[in-house]
Amino acid sequence: MFQRSMEAPELPVEIITYIFSFLHVSDRKEASLVCRSWYEASQDYQFQKNVTFKLPACSSSLEVIRGLGKRSRCGLVISHLDGSSLSRALLMEVAMHLGPSLETLSLPGSSITESSLLDLLPHLTGLRKLDLRGLDSLFMSGAFLSREEHRHQVRKALEGLEELNLSDLRYLSDLSFNRLTGCTPRLRRLALSGCHIAFEFDPYRGCPVGPDSSALLSLRNLRRLLQQQASTVRALDLSRTSITPESLRTVAQVPGLALEELCLRGCKELSDHAVEVLCRHQPAIRSLDLSSCTELTSRAVQAVTSGLKGLQVLSLSRDWRVTDKGLAELMKLPSLQRLDLSECLHVSGAEMIKGLSSPPPRAQLESLSLRSCTYIRDIAIFSLSQLLGLSLRVLDLTSCVYLTDLSVRSIATYMPGLLVLRLGWCKEITDWGLLGMVEPTKECEPSTEKEDKGPSFTRTFGNMGFFQPPSLPFQEKPRLVTDEDLGAFREQMGASLLAIRGIQELDLSACSKITDSSITQVVRFPDLQRLSLSMLPEISDESLASVAFYCRSLTSLALNHCPQISDQGIARAAPLLPRLQHLQLACCDAVTDRSLSVLAKHCKRLQTLDISMCKDITITKVDFLQSQLPYLENVQCRFVGGADLTITL
């Protein structure tokens, strides 16, 4: 009997590689498991650039490290190393099997010994990035790299190192800092975030103390390093330090220093004048982070606009004294791509619109954050959607509490290229906005926005002497969507959220008026990876099943405080979400032990799980889940099993 062959023709590896170049990294990873030829195509050199592997300090990582030795180059993050024999064995395997092929090394949450690191570093001759953030155990004794032979070996290995992260080191001193940076003569990026730096130029007040103090890290020592390596250093991170305006001026005026990136996040003593001096002496800066510098005003924004003509990235988050003033001119910088104005409470967007409406050249923003800018209204988003529709890829409107369905329809209509959209805590958004329809009882023009006439009170004969507070807008429930409405939606779904076809992250947390009617119809994005539907009391298992069916690429899903999500929804969704890595189900009272059994069977890649305050889940089942899932690192299970919170707290 004739049997027709079902085998597909074998394509050359070059063609498969070319096809793979159009896939997202997660899709390419899945495709590499199909057959040997697809795996070989996925290992092409163009896909192996900047690949970093994250491993815990456990025995199973030993074999993984040996396997990585076959790669020409890679990066490595090993967490929670200590002084145990297993940790030493892991580092020796890295030295033996990776050695010159290792490009980046990070050791977060570790407390390794000096000897362990000194045995490793001489083998890493190809290292380009070293992250020693928070490794206090290395610097506590002050003896790290104290011997000349050790410094010679490390200097020979790290002469090509470009990036060094020394953030959050409590015991970093001039002496240890000089020893280490003396082994890295070609630094391009240096991070000292959160370090205790004495920003007085002479902290010893004239006492005869040499430059290699073992007591503290001083400004004069940092300035000396910048002078020595001014020709190579291009990025500096001094976030969360006590840097003063005078100290910043000292750093900015180092001869020959031409910074391109500067991070000063959380430096609360900086002044507008200091920013003016910085912009005058460092005009080559492309990325500037001034977030949480609470003394800065719009004068600093004007200094940035006039002094940094090539600026690409600017963060002013939590600079509460910044207003709209100066934003119009900022929007005229043609190279500006990313702007963070989150929690700038006095920004309304009017000046931004004015600047973007001016003749070219003007900014082509790719990322914009207006999180918690409570002065933002629909009229601003309606205008910004049209002005930035072609370029914007990331939009964060979290906690812009006065936005309504009009903003959602504007975004869906004019910003089809968005990759990230965050609308959490925008409580006025309803099903009608996601569906791209106008609620029959409301108008849709931004010019018809109601004016705030202040509070109003009523007093009648029945409640003489008592005032009733006015009802808040987010307490009003919209008219429910009917089957007839959904029929009309299917005929004209162009302006719905479905228009943003390539979206990868969506946050609708606490938009409490949203129900199954819209989630089941519009959350249908094949490329969606991160979704938050937390605190939506009206969604049920139907929404969860629909999301799982249409969004197969999900890696992160948040469903906290969704009381209608139950075991049935988890059972329907889990088999469709094999890529899921992060799941949040805190305070979902209808979720029980049966859901954990389903997750253990179908979600083998789960890394983090939050089931806090799920009263029908037992610790025994949590232990079973952890034994079944090899990648599960963190399970939040506070107050499970119906624990009495009043007694526990």
pLDDT category, 643, cuts 50, 70, 90? low
pLDDT at 239 over 70: yes
pLDDT at 422 over 60: yes
pLDDT category, 479, cuts 50, 70, 90? low
pLDDT at 179 over 90: yes
pLDDT category, 22, cuts 50, 70, 90? confident
Pairing relation of β-strands 129-131 and 287-289? unpaired
Quote the tokens at residue 158: 């790290």
- C-alpha to C-alpha distance for 346 and 323, rounded to whole angstroms: 5
- What pLDDT is stored for residue 13 in this prediction? 86
pLDDT at 70 over 90: no
Amino acid code (one letter) for 408: V
- C-alpha to C-alpha distance for 608 and 562, rounded to whole angstroms: 19
Q: Which residue in 305, 302, 374 sits closest to 335, CA to CA?
A: 305
- What pLDDT is stored for residue 6 in this prediction? 47
Write phi, then psi, for 602 (nearest 5 degrees).
-110, -25
pLDDT at 501 over 60: yes
Radius of gyration of the chain (CA): 28
Q: How far is CA 223 from CA 32, 251, 544, 588, in A?
A: 49, 6, 56, 54
Judge whether 72 and 98 are in contact, CB under 8 Å.
no
- C-alpha to C-alpha distance for 450 and 441, rounded to whole angstroms: 14
The helix (run of H) or strand (run of E) holding residue 141 is none
Q: Which residue in 157, 148, 152, 84 sits closest to 120, CA to CA?
A: 157
- What pLDDT is stored for residue 503 in this prediction? 96
Average pLDDT, the chain: 88
pLDDT category, 9, cuts 50, 70, 90? low
pLDDT in tens, 210-219: 556 767 899 9
pLDDT at 477 over 60: no
Average pLDDT over residues 531-539: 97
Pairing relation of β-strands 129-131 and 582-584? unpaired
Q: What does DSSP assign to residue 49?
A: T
- C-alpha to C-alpha distance for 368 and 448, rounded to whole angstroms: 26
- C-alpha to C-alpha distance for 162 and 230, rounded to whole angstroms: 13
- What pLDDT is stored for residue 28 in this prediction? 84
pLDDT in tens, 514-529: 999 999 999 999 999 9
Average pLDDT over residues 185-191: 97
- C-alpha to C-alpha distance for 51 and 29, rounded to whole angstroms: 12
Q: Flag whether the pTM goes above 0.95.
A: no
Average pLDDT over residues 97-124: 92
pLDDT at 474 over 80: no
- C-alpha to C-alpha distance for 127 and 136, rounded to whole angstroms: 22
- What pLDDT is stored for residue 467 in this prediction? 44
pLDDT category, 2, cuts 50, 70, 90? very low
**What stretches of 184-323 show up as alpha helix (H) in DSSP?**
219-228, 245-252, 272-281, 298-307
Residue 459, CA atoms < 13 Å, CB-side half-sphere = 4
- C-alpha to C-alpha distance for 151 and 135, rounded to whole angstroms: 19
pLDDT category, 257, cuts 50, 70, 90? very high
Amino acid code (one letter) for 35: C
| Residues shown for the chain | 649
pLDDT in tens, 367-410: 999 999 999 999 999 999 999 999 999 999 999 999 999 999 99
pLDDT at 251 over 50: yes
Q: Which residue in 26, 183, 25, 16 sits closest to 605, CA to CA?
A: 26
pLDDT at 353 over 60: yes
- What pLDDT is stored for residue 37 in this prediction? 87
Winning range, highest mean pLDDT, from 9-18, 253-262, 430-439? 253-262
- What pLDDT is stored for residue 7 in this prediction? 53
Average pLDDT over residues 109-134: 93
pLDDT category, 459, cuts 50, 70, 90? very low
pLDDT in tens, 599-626: 999 999 999 999 999 999 999 999 999 9
